[in-house]
């Protein structure tokens, strides 16, 4: 308990949710990496399990460090992070590791770990929007003084992510709109930004259709939509069909931990479709439990935002918590065939590398806001007791 009291501050419910998701992650990843292990490591599942556990432990370390920092410092950090992420996104588009016609990764020297630059850009943009909106509350309804400076980084970052990762760009754009709405930006300006975003996407699609070499991912986007709407070929619907089989065979009580059979057929069962494996092994109860954990995380984020004394802290907490839970809901919707395939991992559950670290950093920042709010409440109570 001394360790917890000394090093673990902030919302204890969020810490509990994160711990439960991490435990579930270890169980689900260990069960779903069998095919991957046989393909690349001669069946050595312990290699991937050990790597995943190390990544989670490092992530928890980053979370502890992030929540120790007073959240007000993230206002300045957001500037540096945004200015760093833009050239990194450009570098990724030009020289990034190309997988399935998508240049999303840079390779970190020495440790040889792939790094998805959009993860840094997401975190940086959300923090930067919270900073700008909090600083311009007095002119928040003004088009020139508030809307233009906020619109430019949103369009720039989302535009740089879009060519290689449509789903991430769309999710980040949506999150930005939510933050702007909560930050009291004029609704007609937000609607105009939606129009600009849709118009930009249509132009890119026309360019990609006329010259596929400039936008090679357009074919993948169209294929996924056609598959989802039932217009694609039967072979193209393979992922969704295997996910349905996993869910159906696990209903209602599941096959138990390690009992999945569809892990041998589902593409990326340890990342994109890990929720289908959870439903197969833990049944309906396990699936609902995971949804509840993310909803609790979101509601605690809202509570932290409402208790924060400063606008920056409120926007930071609500923006980051919405971004994480929104991504989780998209991943789970894909697994149950309510949404086209996006390639988004399930935060803190899917096997990953730097994506887990940035998720942990985001949660650490939310906890930093919570810690500061709790400290303020404690001071108020102590002052009240002294006065009495």
Domain spans, the chain: 2-387
Chain segment 329-345, per-residue pLDDT in tens: 999 999 888 888 887 89
Residue with tokens 């949710």: 17
What pLDDT sits at residue 142?
A: 86
DSSP strand pairing (97-99 vs 113-116)? unpaired
Residue 219 has pLDDT above 80, yes or no: no
Residue 289 tokens read as 């439990």
pLDDT digits (tens, 9 = 90+) for 277-298: 999 999 999 999 999 999 999 9
At residue 385, does pLDDT exceed 50? Answer: no
What is the C-alpha separation between 350 and 342, in angstroms, rounded? Answer: 14
**What is the sign of the dihedral through the CA atoms of 351, 353, 354 and 358?**
positive
pLDDT at 384: 41
With CA atoms as reference, report the closest residue to 374 among 267, 300, 273, 321: 300
Higher pLDDT, residue 225 or 366:
366
Who wins on pLDDT, 209 or 184?
184
Element holding 242 (H helix, E strand): helix 238-250
Mean pLDDT of the chain: 85
Rg over CA atoms, the chain: 22
Is the pLDDT at 172 greater than 80? The verdict is yes
Give me 147's structure tokens: 């809307």
Sheet of 97-99, strand order: 97-99, 102-108, 113-116
* pLDDT higher than threshold 70 for residue 24: yes
Residues 362-372: tens digit of each pLDDT: 999 999 999 88
The region of weakest confidence among 56-70, 234-248, 367-381 is 367-381
Distance between CA atoms of residues 168 and 120, nearest Å? 12
What digits encode the pLDDT tens for the residues 55-94?
999 999 999 999 999 999 999 999 999 999 999 888 888 7
Using a pLDDT cut of 70, give the percent of the chain over it: 82
The pTM assigned to this predicted structure is: 0.89
- How far is 362 from 319, CA to CA, in rounded Å? 10
The pLDDT of residue 312 is: 94
Longest dimension (CA), the chain: 76
Residues 352 and 293: beta-carbon distance below 8 Å: no
């Amino acid at each position: 308990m001394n360790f917890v009291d000394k090093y673990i501050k902030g919302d204890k419910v969020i810490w509990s949710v994160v711990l439960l998701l991490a435990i579930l992650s270890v169980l689900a990843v260990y069960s779903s990496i069998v095919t991957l292990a046989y393909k690349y490591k001669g069946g050595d599942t312990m290699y991937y399990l050990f790597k995943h556990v190390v990544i989670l432990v490092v992530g928890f370390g980053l979370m502890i460090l992030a929540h120790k920092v007073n959240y007000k410092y993230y206002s300045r950090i957001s500037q540096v992070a945004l200015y760093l992420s833009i050239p990194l996104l450009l570098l990724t588009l030009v020289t990034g590791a190309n997988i399935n016609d998508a240049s999303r990764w840079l390779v970190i020297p020495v440790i040889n770990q792939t790094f998805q630059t959009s993860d840094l850009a997401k975190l940086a943009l959300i923090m930067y929007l919270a900073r700008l909106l909090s600083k311009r509350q007095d002119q928040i309804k003004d088009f020139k003084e508030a809307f233009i400076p906020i619109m430019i980084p949103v369009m720039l970052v989302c535009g740089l992510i879009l060519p290689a990762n449509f789903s991430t760009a769309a999710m980040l754009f949506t999150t930005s709109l939510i933050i702007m709405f909560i930050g009291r930006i004029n609704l007609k300006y937000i609607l105009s930004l939606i129009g600009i975003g849709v118009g930009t996407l249509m132009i890119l699609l026309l360019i990609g259709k006329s010259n596929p070499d400039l936008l090679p991912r357009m074919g993948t986007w169209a294929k996924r939509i056609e598959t989802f709407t039932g217009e694609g070929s039967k072979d193209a619907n393979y992922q969704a069909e295997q996910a349905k089989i996993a869910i159906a065979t696990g209903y209602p009580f599941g096959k138990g931990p390690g009992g999945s059979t569809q892990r041998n057929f589902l593409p990326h069962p340890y990342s994109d479709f890990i929720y289908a494996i959870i439903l197969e092994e833990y049944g309906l109860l396990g699936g609902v439990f995971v949804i509840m954990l993310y909803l609790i995380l979101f509601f605690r984020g809202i509570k932290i935002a409402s208790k924060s004394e400063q606008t920056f802290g409120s926007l930071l907490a609500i923006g980051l918590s919405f971004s994480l839970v929104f991504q989780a809901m998209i991943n789970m919707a894909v697994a149950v065939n309510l949404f086209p395939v996006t390639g988004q991992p399930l935060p803190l559950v899917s096997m990953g590398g730097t994506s887990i670290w940035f998720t942990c950093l985001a949660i650490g920042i939310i906890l930093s806001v919570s810690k500061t709010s709790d400290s303020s409440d404690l001071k108020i109570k102590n002052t009240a007791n002294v006065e009495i």
